[in-house]
Amino acid sequence: MTAFSNRYQWPDAGLFEIPDWVYTDPEIYDREVERIFHGPTWNYVALEAEIPNPGDFQRSFVGPTPVVVTRDGEDEINVFLNRCGHRASEFCREQRGNAKLLICPYHQWSYDLKGNLVGVPFRRGLAGRGGLARDFDMAAHSPRRLAVTRRGGVVFASFDADAPPLESYLGPVMTAEFDATFDGRPLELHGYYRNTVPGNWKLYHENLKDPYHATLLHSFLVTFGLFVAGNRSAMLADESGLHGAIASAKRASTDHVSEEAKGEMRAFHEDFALQAPEIMEFVDEFDSEWSVTMQTIWPNLIVQREMNTLGIRQIVPRGPHEFAMHWTMFGYAGDDEAMRRHRLRQGNLMGPAGFLGMEDNEAIKFVQDGMKRSRPGHHAVALEPELEAGATDCVISEAAIRAMYRGWREIMGLAS
């Protein structure tokens, strides 16, 4: 046992109890940045549709770390740190744009679209004095470049050049689910939502590995019959337990819901109806048995396929107690006006003002508040005790959360 793992003792109940320091401790957070976000993971950085032309660039993040994403003249996509090799300034200030060179505004050091330092004003000094040494290494003073991979129009980056190929990183089940959304149809950008959530970034993963909450927290779903206990559903996970997808299949009516399930779901009202019910329509356009999936791709991506409202959610941690969420909403380039508007209307379900999205954000805040104010402690992820950890077709389960922490403890060097 190392000194580190001695200081952070897991409760005796193993994966069935999670200690607060997982979510609140600055040293744990720093280690997460180093080992997870800056480790051999694939981090979402952009959609190709956001930077369609040579010279397009966009700011993004890998974990908390600002990066620039560019498309160069050879149609390659490059990701490098948004940190000048001279005085460390975060030099790219525009959210997006098109340029041949990116120039740090402080001393005009310039970078090409691959992130190479190509220009230093007064490099040879002035009138034979000053400037840089003859042997100054331009390459060594370029921003750090990250490995890049793309799939289906989605761009990922990694600090680790030896990160495994994306397909084996995701595994076959997660790759197939990813491909159901990114099926080769060109994407059409609909816009962005951006918000903070005052909670630890892992709570967002957990919320989407927690099928138990769906019919209890989200009364809207139950009241209007989109998802009720008794619908066909599954909690998918890969072998590492880090990736997952909560999946369900919409049913046309609620006749199949047992009286027992109705009694347990306080929100169940058969007689409530929407005045504009088209928001809940599902146009079956995917090669998938599921009408709703929320896929968590470790460590910073959620792919939202909530019927026909599609979105990327990028997690940007801001310390142990808060993260930002960047949502990129999209449709497909072939959508007609009716389909585009259907997606936009259905978008009211998600996002920080969404009928479901607002509730997730509130619940995560409540959990972090509890850990910040009543401490120290640990809390239970004890549902479905017959399965220690992993994928499940049982809705009343926290086995996928336990699977994530099995993987997390290993990465963090905290395996007991």
Partner 1 sequence: MSAADADRRLRAVEAFNTAYARVLDDGDLTVWPNFFTEEARYVVTARENWDRGLPAGLIYCEGRAMMADRAFAILNTAMYAPRYLRHFITNTWVGTQADGGAFEAGANYLLTQVLVDEPNARVHQVGRYIDVFVESEAGLQLCSRHCVYDDALIDNALILPV
| Residue numbers at the binding site for partner 1 (CB under 8 A) | 95, 189-198, 217, 219-220, 223, 267, 272, 274-276, 279, 324, 329, 340-341, 344-345, 347-348, 351-353, 355, 357-359, 361-363, 365-366, 369
Question: Measured from the CB of residue 246, what is the shortest distance to partner 1 in angstroms?
Answer: 18
Q: What are phi and psi of 283, to 5 degrees?
A: -95, 115
Question: Measured from the CB of residue 362, what is the shortest distance to partner 1 in angstroms?
Answer: 5
- Report the DSSP beta bridge partners of residue 78: 70
Question: Measured from the CB of residue 181, what is the shortest distance to partner 1 in angstroms?
Answer: 17
Count Cβ atoms below 10 Å from residue 264 Cβ, excluding itself. Answer: 12
Question: Measured from the CB of residue 343, what is the shortest distance to partner 1 in angstroms?
Answer: 9
Question: Measured from the CB of residue 268, what is the shortest distance to partner 1 in angstroms?
Answer: 11
3-state secondary structure of 195: strand
Q: Which is nearer to partner 1, 251 or 340 (CB)?
A: 340
Helices and strands, counts by H and E, the chain: 11, 19
Q: What is the DSSP letter of 34?
A: I
Evaluated on CA atoms 52, 55, 58, 63, the torsion sign reads positive
Strands 323-332 and 117-119, by their bridges, are unpaired
Helices (H), ranges, 51-209: 166-181, 201-207
Q: What letters, b where the CB count within 10 A reaches 16 and e where it falls short, cover 59-83?
A: bbbbbbbebbbbbbeeeebbbbbbb
Q: 331: which residues sit within 8 A by CB, 6+ positions away?
A: 187, 188, 190, 310, 339, 340, 343
Q: What are phi and psi of 110, to 5 degrees?
A: -120, 150
CA gap 26, 47 in Å, rounded: 31
- State how far the alpha carbon of 173 is from the alpha carbons of 66, 167, 209, 413, 416, in Å: 31, 10, 15, 27, 28
Q: Which is nearer to partner 1, 168 or 275 (CB)?
A: 275
The DSSP code sequence of 137-159 is: -TGGGSPPEEEEEEETTEEEEES
Q: Which is nearer to partner 1, 205 or 409 (CB)?
A: 205
Question: Measured from the CB of residue 106, what is the shortest distance to partner 1 in angstroms?
Answer: 22
Q: Which is nearer to partner 1, 51 or 403 (CB)?
A: 51
Question: Measured from the CB of residue 300, what is the shortest distance to partner 1 in angstroms?
Answer: 16
Q: Which is nearer to partner 1, 86 or 365 (CB)?
A: 365
Both tokens of 120, joined, read: 């230093």
Q: Which is nearer to partner 1, 237 or 303 (CB)?
A: 303
Question: Measured from the CB of residue 47, what is the shortest distance to partner 1 in angstroms?
Answer: 13
Question: Measured from the CB of residue 34, what is the shortest distance to partner 1 in angstroms?
Answer: 25
